[in-house]
Amino acid sequence: MGWRGGRGWYGRVLAAAVGVTAAAAATSVWTAQAGPIEGRHAPGAVAQSPSAAAPGPAMAAVSADIVHASDRGARGVNITIDDGPDPVWTPQVLQVLRENGVRATFCMVGTQARAHPDLVRSVVAAGHRLCDHTVSHDTAMDTKSQTYQSQQILDAQRMITEASGGVRPLYYRAPGGAFTPFSRRLAASHGMRPLGWNVDSKDFERPGTDTIVATVRNEVRNGPTILFHDAGGDRSQTVAALRQVLPWLRQQGYSFGFPVR
């Protein structure tokens, strides 16, 4: 989600997830399995999550710098899809991506992934990558304690990994861009590169398909990583916009890749 405005649907998600996060602090186990597919706190050592680490190989640490670049180089673009999976809209987004031969990065909310593991596995099976978008999509998490941030990030990583059947997220995107130095270091130490965006399609606001398309066309010069959504309400405009945007990007000489790791 590319903005910090009204919570809407996320207010309900956050309320439902508070109990999940609180219970997870005492009971959850962070699983560690490599995937087959490719702010306010003082600096210091990265604290461990209250969740116990499960036995198994740890993912290699990656850079804590927020990434925007594409692995396809200067004419590459990264399609990123936030806030799902959703049983109505994620299959439609997957269909459009399949029709256009595009692989994307899906930034998943932990509670959504846990509720729809079949969709998480469909995303992985289609060759897309996974990104941790926290347990409850709290856009104010940069104002919260390090313990809270750890729970949100690492418990979501566990939920997504379990839902996928063992494929772990390779990136971490803070809700609304609410990164902190601590959260970036924590995610990176667990093998998840902090992921930003250059183009916010503003599809979450449902401004109309034509407006979404125009925003992407006008702003793609700002950088390669483009933000869309597959949850949080009616995403029919997003689906329709992707049907226009993806062929247009290819016609302009762009190729589709993943954020660099």
Q: What is the mean pLDDT of the chain?
A: 84
End-to-end, the C-alpha distance of the chain in Å comes to 21
> Active-site residues: which are they?
82, 229
**CA atoms of 200 and 223, how far apart (whole Å):** 11
Which comes out higher in pLDDT, residue 128 or 47?
A: 128
Amino acid found at 123: V
User: In this predicted structure, what is the pLDDT of residue 59?
Assistant: 83
Query: Band of the pLDDT at 188, cuts 50, 70, 90?
Result: very high
pLDDT band at 215 (very low <50, low <70, confident <90, very high): very high
Task: Give Cα separations from 202 to 68, 82, 135, 238, 241 (angstroms).
Answer: 18, 12, 22, 9, 11
Euclidean distance between CA atoms 114 and 147, whole angstroms: 22
Task: Give the mean pLDDT of 110-116.
Answer: 98
Q: Which of 92, 114, 120, 79 is nearest to 224 (CA)?
A: 79
Q: How far apart are CA 197 and CA 82, in angstroms?
A: 11
Q: How far is CA 175 from the centre of its chain?
A: 9
φ, ψ of residue 2 to 5 degrees: the values are -100, 25
Is the pLDDT reported for residue 91 higher than 50?
A: yes
Look at residue 235 and tell me whether its pLDDT is greater than 60: yes
Identify whether the C-beta of residue 35 lies closer than 8 Å to the C-beta of residue 168.
yes
Q: How far apart are CA 212 and CA 126, in angstroms?
A: 25
DSSP assignments along 63-114, one per residue: --SPB--BTTGGGEEEEEEES---TTHHHHHHHHHHHTT---EEEE-HHHHH
DSSP bridge partners of 52: 29
